[in-house]
Amino acid sequence: MSLDPSVQRAYINDPKVSYLRVSGACRVTRPTVVAVVTDRDSESSAKRWTRRKEARPQELVAAALNLFVARGYAATRLEDVASAAGVSKGTVYLYFANKEELFKAVVQENLLPALAEGEAFIDTFEGTTEALLHEILMGWWELIGESPASGLTKLLMAESGNFPDLAQYYHEEVIARCDRLFARILERGMARGELRNVDIDLTTLTMAAPMIFLMLWKHSFGPCSHRQLDPRAFISHVVSLLLHGVLRNPAVGATVPPLPALTDQPWRNPATRGNPDEGATS
């Protein structure tokens, strides 16, 4: 007994059915549908596939960021990134030629947009230089410091000697750009008469150093330290300390005198450092 041809036509000619397999064995009294996929299902699946394909570079970058921060650059393998993103290793190569290109994408995706926001903010800000510096540093912490991307600084400082090309890229794309951003703030303040004339290069380093400390602290000693460091309070203190110093009531417009010459202390003398009693005066 074979399958009734009219039943076959009813299934196969149904315009909603794009794929159908039926069993027509003589002992079967009605067709057994093994797989039925409608046109609507096909369209929905195609849309999901397209969305996933478009989002895949971002998924790979996000997975790479987490692994780079947790393991370091050298210890992170592309197959680990692929596994974390839920794809095959070959899929990674569809979007990134090698690990170095993937790392650059991590920097471009997680750091450069925040720098662009800071630059645009300076262009339109109309308040005081003190307020501007506070806004920039606090915004930096909220956009970068609180994200996993803050761990990239520790990674580069630890591994730049082994990967000089990456270090050069990071310096040009991130560090130098940060320096220029800080320099603009200083130049703006001096032009407005709010700041005295200072060495731009040295002052930008002074501004950046506390932020670097915050990132290193967060990804090293912070989790195991008894000291609870509030980043926002720290940043506010840095701004106050940088702009006002610690001298009591300095005269308005006064020129800061040079620091006194260092005294000849034994602890700075390599010859006597091993014996604190040597070099002491009676």
The 10s digit of each residue's pLDDT in 110-167 is 999 999 999 999 999 999 999 999 999 999 999 999 999 999 999 999 999 999 999 9
C-alpha to C-alpha distance for 62 and 244, rounded to whole angstroms:
40
Give the pLDDT of residue 50: 47
Q: What is the pLDDT of residues 29-64, one digit of tens each?
A: 444 444 444 555 555 544 444 445 666 899 999 999
Residue 239 resides in a domain: yes
Looking at residue 55, its pLDDT comes to: 62
Q: How far apart are CA 70 and CA 153, in angstroms?
A: 13
State residue 177's pLDDT score: 97
Cβ–Cβ under 8 Å, residues 3 and 11:
no
241 within some domain: yes
Asked whether 217 and 229 are in contact (CB, 8 A), the reply is yes
- For residue 62, the model assigns a pLDDT of 97
pTM of the model: 0.71
Question: Which tokens belong to 177?
Answer: 């750009």
192-235 pLDDT, tens per residue? Answer: 999 999 999 999 999 999 999 999 999 999 988 888 899 999 99
Q: Do 111 and 174 meet the contact criterion of CB atoms below 8 Å apart?
A: yes
β-sheet bridge partners, residue 36:
20
Angle in degrees, 0-180, between the axes of helices 231-244 and 200-218, rounded to the nearest 10: 160
Within a domain: 21 = no
Q: Is the residue at 201 inside a domain? A: yes
Residue 165 structural domain: 111-246
> Does position 77 have pLDDT exceeding 90, yes or no?
yes
Q: What is the pLDDT of residues 235-269, one digit of tens each?
A: 999 999 998 876 666 666 666 667 666 666 655 45
Q: How many domains does one find in the chain?
A: 1
In a domain, 117, yes or no: yes
